[in-house]
Amino acid sequence: MNMTFKLKLAAVSASMALVSGIAVAEEETIKVGVLHSLSGTMAISETTLKDTILMLVEEQNKKGGLLGKQLEAVVVDPASNWPLFAEKARELVEKEKVDVVFGGWTSVSRKSMLPVFEELNSILFYPVQYEGEESSKNVFYTGAAPNQQAVPAVDYLMTELDVERWVLAGTDYVYPRTTNKILEAYLKDKGVSEKDIMISYTPFGHSDWQSIVSDIKKFGSEGKKTAVVSTINGDANVPFYKELGAQGVSSEDIPVVAFSVGEEELSGMDTSALVGHLAAWNYFMSVDTQANEEFVETWQKFIASDKRVTNDPMEAHYIGFNMWTQAVTNAGTTDAEQVQDALIGVSVPNLSGGYSTMLPNHHITKPVLIGEIQDDGQFDIVWETTGLVAGDAWSNFLPESAKLYSSWSKPFSCGAFNVETGKCSGSAN
């Protein structure tokens, strides 16, 4: 064997050892996908959720990781581009080999991703309130369904503030349209006439609110107590609330209850004109519990700022992440099929002082809170449910949905079981 051959053989051996070492290193981590918009119109809301998962991964690793391995976060930016969410989801699962994905905000982004997770049989934790009308084997919904946010908010306005006229204002996509369809049916069921319901939609990023706010003022000036139920999403909220202030629409005259405005969105606004307006969520930073105090402290330390706030979708990620780690521990594996089964029935602490449970329909139990905006951008909790509310996958107020039932517990394993026909009509919607 000549020296040249020996040197080549040594080089090949070293290269193979390096490749082998990389493969082993990859196997020694459990990959967690993070799929949130870091640019575009939804970055105002989603960037914080990316940071939340990074914090939770770091905290888990401090505890020793999971199944004896460290967690590794893999972050991608779908850039508020709805089709790109599907492409990035596939990249995370197929190329990066992540074991779970935490991501999405808008329903259109979730619906873009859903077929990918079902095709590849992976797991998505979706942390934001949504319109319901869906139950997928591969999606775990830790945000509120309509019966855990929208319907209780309307009940509060009706019973506590004597509201009789309703403005349903939303961004023009599936979540506001479906939620408002449910609310319109619910209001009519409560005896509200069609002429006392005004519905308005605007595109993402809408900035010229002058005429719409003027119409709201006119609608509210006809002798009946009026409120705005807002499903306006993303950075369009900033000019909307500014225009309310500019036109002198106070919370005493026409209160606004928002489903997509929390502490993070308010942190970038002058809230002086918004004091008294409302939001309906399942968590506020102002919740007074030891668990929440520790969470806020950990977050502000991680993000290196005592001025950064927490919000509801962050808590949903906190709950979902802890449910996933508990299910993986119980199953003894990150295998998607086994973890999906292990997740059902898992209970973990929420930040309001109770325990949230993953239900067979892949929704969770949550308290419902109504908060009033304060001049410091925080919320004073003015109302809450006495216990936790179980999330409904299918609304009882839509005739086509009222007959559907969801349970992913074996052997049932159906997301849309029709109780009239006795047949499973599909895995999702």
Q: What is the pLDDT of residues 26-59, one digit of tens each?
A: 468 999 999 999 999 899 889 999 999 999 999 9
Whether residue 227 sits in one domain with residue 333: no
- The model carries a pTM of 0.88
Do 225 and 195 contact (CB within 8 A), yes or no? no
Reported confidence tier of residue 338, pLDDT bands at 50, 70, 90: very high
Higher-pLDDT residue of 1 and 311 is 311
Whether residue 161 sits in one domain with residue 92: no
Whether residue 255 sits in one domain with residue 217: yes
Whether residue 251 sits in one domain with residue 381: yes
Q: For residue 237, is it within any domain?
A: yes
Q: For residue 307, is it within any domain?
A: yes
Whether residue 375 sits in one domain with residue 344: no
346-349: long-range contacts at Cβ-Cβ below 8 A with a sequence spacing of 24 or more?
Answer: 348/319, 348/322, 348/323, 349/291, 349/322
| Model confidence pLDDT, tens digit, residues 257-304 | 999 888 988 887 788 878 999 999 999 999 999 999 999 999 999 999
Determine the pLDDT at residue 428: 46
Beta-ladder partners of 228: 167, 256
Measuring CA to CA, which residue among 126, 103, 390, 151 is closest to residue 280?
A: 151
Reported confidence tier of residue 18, pLDDT bands at 50, 70, 90: very low
Q: How many residues does the chain have?
A: 429
Q: For residue 11, is it within any domain?
A: no
Whether residue 380 sits in one domain with residue 251: yes
| Model confidence pLDDT, tens digit, residues 67-102 | 999 999 999 999 999 999 999 999 999 999 999 999
Determine the pLDDT at residue 241: 87
Measuring CA to CA, which residue among 144, 374, 343 is closest to residue 278?
A: 374
Q: For residue 417, is it within any domain?
A: no
DSSP 8-state class, residue 252 = T
The domain of 270 spans 147-287+370-389
Whether residue 375 sits in one domain with residue 275: yes
Whether residue 167 sits in one domain with residue 110: no
Please say if the pLDDT value at position 13 is more than 60: no
Measuring CA to CA, which residue among 145, 222, 140, 136 is closest to residue 178?
A: 145
Tokens at residue 355, please?
């325990």
Whether residue 339 sits in one domain with residue 299: yes
Supply the CATH number for residue 69's domain.
3.40.50.2300
- Alpha-carbon distance values, 71 to 58, 100, 197 (Å): 8, 11, 49
Whether residue 359 sits in one domain with residue 323: yes
Please say if the pLDDT value at position 22 is more than 60: no
14 exposed, middle or buried (CB, 10 Å; 0-12, 13-18, 19+)? exposed
Q: For residue 402, is it within any domain?
A: no
Whether residue 376 sits in one domain with residue 231: yes
The sign of the dihedral angle between the CA atoms of 157, 162, 270, 376 is: negative
Number of domains in the chain: 2
Determine the pLDDT at residue 17: 44
Do 391 and 365 contact (CB within 8 A), yes or no? yes
